[in-house]
Amino acid sequence: MINYKQLHHFWTVARAGGIVRAAERSGLAPQTLSGQIATLEAELGVSLFRRQGRGLALTDTGRVALDYAEEIFRLGDELEEALRSRASGRTVPFRVGIADVVPKAIAWLLLAPSMNLPEPMRIVCREGKFDALLGELAIHKLDVVLADSPMPSNMDVRGYNHTLGESTIGFFATPTLAATLQGGFPACLDGAPLLLPGGEAAVRGPLLQWLEAARLKPRIVGEFDDSALMRAFAEAGAGIFPSASLVGEQLCQQDAMVHLGDADGVTETYYAISVERRLTHPAVRAISAAANKGQKIG
């Protein structure tokens, strides 16, 4: 079995960028750290570091080992926090980042399975830009990020995408605005005032392509990064707006909106992004399990 004390010394040195700096941070002698790492390398039969100038650099094997070590010791911290919380009766924090392009009603539907767990849970929601939330996820300030697109492959953040579900996209308007539209759907969109999600929304491109293919030219009167702000403008009658059909019933019943029709072939997919290959937080597991059973939304 791997010696986790030696692995922790390796992890400390790799994160610090060198033995001397790691020794200063940990309070251990440099000789102790180098000796422990040498023993670990000998027992595993691999080289984890290589000389680079006056310092050390990770080998390819070392980078693989660091990825696993990061997850192992993060899980250890989570285990300690969970056990202490359970022993003291304290609630377990569930820190969620929600990309601002994700509709709030959809965010609730996605997170709902986490609210019915036997463990006392305290959910902490942070809304913001997708890339900023991924940065907080990378340094473990968040347990998961909800978004309408997977994590970009070119980002220097280690993470895993977990698909939660998808929805078709419908167009909605106030009764007053709907009464002024000419013709049936989708012809009624031509020349009509339209509100669109901003450039960061994954669904924006497919919507524009759908409009172009249908030879429809609505008047784009507003673009919004924040889905809640777009909905507020729509409720005031500023324009037609697209939204996930999954919350269409809520829009029509609670907000008295009119469902004009759906954009055939256009869907919005929702993701939970974590730093874990294997999900361990009970709330994230509950969300993923509901998704796998087809219970997450709708």
More confident: 221 or 290: 221
Q: Quick one: average pLDDT of 53-67?
A: 89
118 by Cβ neighbours in 10 Å (0-12 / 13-18 / 19+) ranks as exposed
Q: What is the predicted pLDDT for the residue at 244? A: 93
Q: What is the predicted pLDDT for the residue at 90? A: 66
Closest CA to 108 of 123, 121, 90, 128: 123
Q: Quick one: average pLDDT of 63-75?
A: 87
Q: Is the pLDDT of residue 181 over 90?
A: yes
Strand partners, 45: none
Share of the chain above pLDDT 70, in %: 94
Closest CA to 248 of 237, 233, 258: 258
Q: What is the predicted pLDDT for the residue at 294? A: 55
d(CA 192, CA 207): 15
Q: Quick one: average pLDDT of 30-51?
A: 93
Q: Is the pLDDT of residue 110 over 70?
A: yes
User: Is 219 within 8 Å of 193 (Cβ atoms)?
Assistant: yes
Strand partners, 147: 271
Q: What is the predicted pLDDT for the residue at 88? A: 61
Q: What is the predicted pLDDT for the residue at 61? A: 94
Q: How confident is the model at residue 87 (pLDDT cuts 50, 70, 90)?
A: low
Q: Quick one: average pLDDT of 217-237?
A: 94
Query: Average model confidence (pLDDT) for the chain?
Result: 88
Closest CA to 224 of 241, 211, 210: 241
Least confident range from 109-113, 118-122, 215-219: namely 118-122
Q: How confident is the model at residue 39 (pLDDT cuts 50, 70, 90)?
A: very high
Q: What is the predicted pLDDT for the residue at 298? A: 43
Pairing verdict, β 193-197 and 219-224: parallel
Q: What is the predicted pLDDT for the residue at 86? A: 62
Q: What is the predicted pLDDT for the residue at 295? A: 45
Q: How confident is the model at residue 191 (pLDDT cuts 50, 70, 90)?
A: very high
All domains in the chain, ordered by first residue: 4-87 (1.10.10.10), 91-297 (3.40.190.290)
Q: How confident is the model at residue 89 (pLDDT cuts 50, 70, 90)?
A: low
Q: What is the predicted pLDDT for the residue at 296? A: 41
Q: Is the pLDDT of residue 99 over 60?
A: yes
More confident: 119 or 260: 260
